[in-house]
Amino acid sequence: MVRGEGSYLFDAEGRRYLDGSGGPAAFCIGHANREVNAAIAAQLERFACAYRYLFTTDVLEELTALILRKFGADFGHIVYCCSGSEAVESALKVALQFWLARGLPAKRQFIARERSYHGNTLGALSVSGFAERRLPFEGSLLDVAFVSAANAYRPAGGVAPAELAATLAAELEECIRRIGSERVAGFIFEPVVGAAGGVVPAPPGYAEAVRAVCDRYDVLLIADEVMCGAGRCGTWRALDHENVRADITTVAKGLAGGYIPLGATIFSNAIGSAILAADGTILTGHTYSGHTAACAAGLAVQRIIERDRLLERVAAAGPGLKSALQSALERFDEVGDVRGRGYFLGIELVRDRITKQPFPRQRAISHEIGRCAFEHGLICYPCAGNVGDGTGDTIIIAPPFNATDAQLAELVDKLAKSVGQVLRP
């Protein structure tokens, strides 16, 4: 790549690519935005980074205020970092420090879900139900309990859609009781599963049901919104769709839009106050926590999103994009499901639409479609393994929030052409 311009990237040979997935659902306002670049350059002219444990800065304080407005008065604490994996790692550490501060040092164990992915640090990988990515590190990961994925397209045990949320909440409750609530620190989940599932929104009522279970057993609820948050689903918090607040939330990818790596862990006043009263400080952080130039980038990106009403754009145009993809792909029996929220959409490919039987792992059909789309000048995000045992093929679509109607139409057209070329050569 040699140049970016809005929703497009250009390579050294002059070929143009429409970024239909925002890379890995990160580049939320496109590439080479002059306003963001100017904010970064202006900060670098003054200084690049004020070490967070000696100084605060205007951009850090302004970004913190902007984020906390999205969460409400009960949330007043943020730990910044440089990636989603670090944000999840910090969430786990904040939870552990909180229970120790509360005088409950036995609450050390986490519960997570199958077919989930929370990052590639050892702690974040430990709570990820993604066997392919865990395998090389087994034996060095935390002891974590797993419950079923919340997938209405592939419900565990064939549970009926109307009963799925209650069934999954009951499974979580039984898991907590089996371990002992006095030993469980937190339950972590993605409101909309990204790469591990191919964009899988939790079924209606699920978030509210697991919130109630966690409250009943004094377990922290941790929402990993690294991929699905910061506006990707049409609301700044993905859990706004369910009107549920997690105790701890992680964000990253869309926070600074890929301009400079930036992540954050946001947690409640109750958690922060208990930790500060006991220890005087939050015991997680890095050299570059709250990196000033990164915060300048994040602040510029978020101000553009607010000023240009891009979340309203995503919320309004998202259903139309999903419908257009469904219409363009419905002629292919191998397209089993088109799902998602806002500009975070997933397409699942199957051998048989009725039985939902996946393609053999060796077929690698999602990656073949991804390569074909690339040849046609479209970047999408192929994923594999969502069914288990390495099988399952999905494609993630996550365009920039400010992509034009014409660019969205181009995305649908090129993806349909690529799917057709692979399935009907």
% of the chain surpassing 90 pLDDT: 97
d(CA 385, CA 390): 4
Q: What is the pLDDT of residue 109?
A: 98
Q: Which of the listed residues 274, 290, 307 is the one where a domain comes to its end?
A: 307
d(CA 25, CA 135): 25
Per-residue b or e along 238-251, where b marks 16 or more CB atoms closer than 10 Å to that residue's CB: bbbbbebbbbbbbb
Q: What is the pLDDT of residue 313?
A: 98
Give yes or no for residue 425 having a pLDDT over 80.
Answer: no
pLDDT digits (tens, 9 = 90+) for 106-164: 999 999 999 999 999 999 999 999 988 999 999 999 999 999 999 999 998 899 999 99
Q: What is the mean pLDDT of the chain?
A: 97
pLDDT (mean) for 86-92: 98
Question: Which phi and psi angles does 346 have, rounded to 5°?
Answer: -130, 145
d(CA 137, CA 126): 9
Q: What is the pLDDT of residue 424?
A: 87
Q: Residue 96 is encoded by which pair of tokens?
A: 């552990």
Structural domain harbouring 10 = 3-32+309-423
User: Do 322 and 272 belong together in one domain?
Assistant: no
Confidence of residue 375 (pLDDT cuts 50, 70, 90): very high
User: Do 289 and 374 belong together in one domain?
Assistant: no
What CATH number does the domain containing 377 carry? 3.90.1150.10
User: Do 294 and 327 belong together in one domain?
Assistant: no
Give yes or no for residue 77 having a pLDDT over 90.
Answer: yes
User: Do 42 and 117 belong together in one domain?
Assistant: yes
User: Do 224 and 347 belong together in one domain?
Assistant: no
Confidence of residue 211 (pLDDT cuts 50, 70, 90): very high
Q: Which of the listed residues 257, 280, 307 is the one where a domain comes to its end?
A: 307
Q: What is the pLDDT of residue 390?
A: 87
Determine the longest span between alpha carbons in the chain, in angstroms: 65
116 burial type by CB count under 10 A (0-12 exposed, 13-18 middle, 19+ buried) = buried
Strand partners of residue 379: 19
pLDDT digits (tens, 9 = 90+) for 256-275: 999 999 999 999 999 999 99
d(CA 230, CA 297): 14
Counted domains in the chain: 2
Confidence of residue 388 (pLDDT cuts 50, 70, 90): confident
User: Do 302 and 327 belong together in one domain?
Assistant: no
The CA distances from residue 170 to 89, 167, 249, 253, 324, in Å, are 27, 5, 23, 32, 37
User: Do 184 and 318 belong together in one domain?
Assistant: no
pLDDT (mean) for 320-328: 98
Question: Dihedral, CA atoms, 3, 302, 296, 195, nearest 10 degrees?
Answer: -60
The half-sphere exposure of 194 on its side-chain side, counting CA atoms within 13 A, is 27
What CATH number does the domain containing 160 carry? 3.40.640.10
d(CA 402, CA 412): 16
For the chain, helix, strand, coil in percent to 5 are: 45, 20, 35
pTM: 0.97
User: Do 317 and 419 belong together in one domain?
Assistant: yes
d(CA 272, CA 267): 7
pLDDT (mean) for 225-251: 97
User: Do 302 and 314 belong together in one domain?
Assistant: no
Question: Which phi and psi angles does 210 have, rounded to 5°?
Answer: -75, -30
Sheet holding 391-397, edge to edge: 335-341, 344-349, 391-397, 381-388
User: Do 101 and 152 belong together in one domain?
Assistant: yes
Residue 344 identity: F
365-375 and 405-423 helices, crossing angle to 10°: 130
Nearest to 358 by CA among 159, 118, 115: 115
Neighbours of 334 (CB within 10 A): 18
User: Do 326 and 290 belong together in one domain?
Assistant: no
pLDDT digits (tens, 9 = 90+) for 406-424: 999 999 999 999 999 999 8
Q: Which of the listed residues 260, 288, 307 is the one where a domain comes to its end?
A: 307
* Contact (Cβ atoms closer than 8 angstroms) between residue 26 and residue 260: no
Confidence of residue 389 (pLDDT cuts 50, 70, 90): confident
User: Do 140 and 172 belong together in one domain?
Assistant: yes
d(CA 206, CA 243): 11
CB neighbours of 234 closer than 8 A, spacing ≥ 6?
311, 314, 315, 318, 341, 342, 343
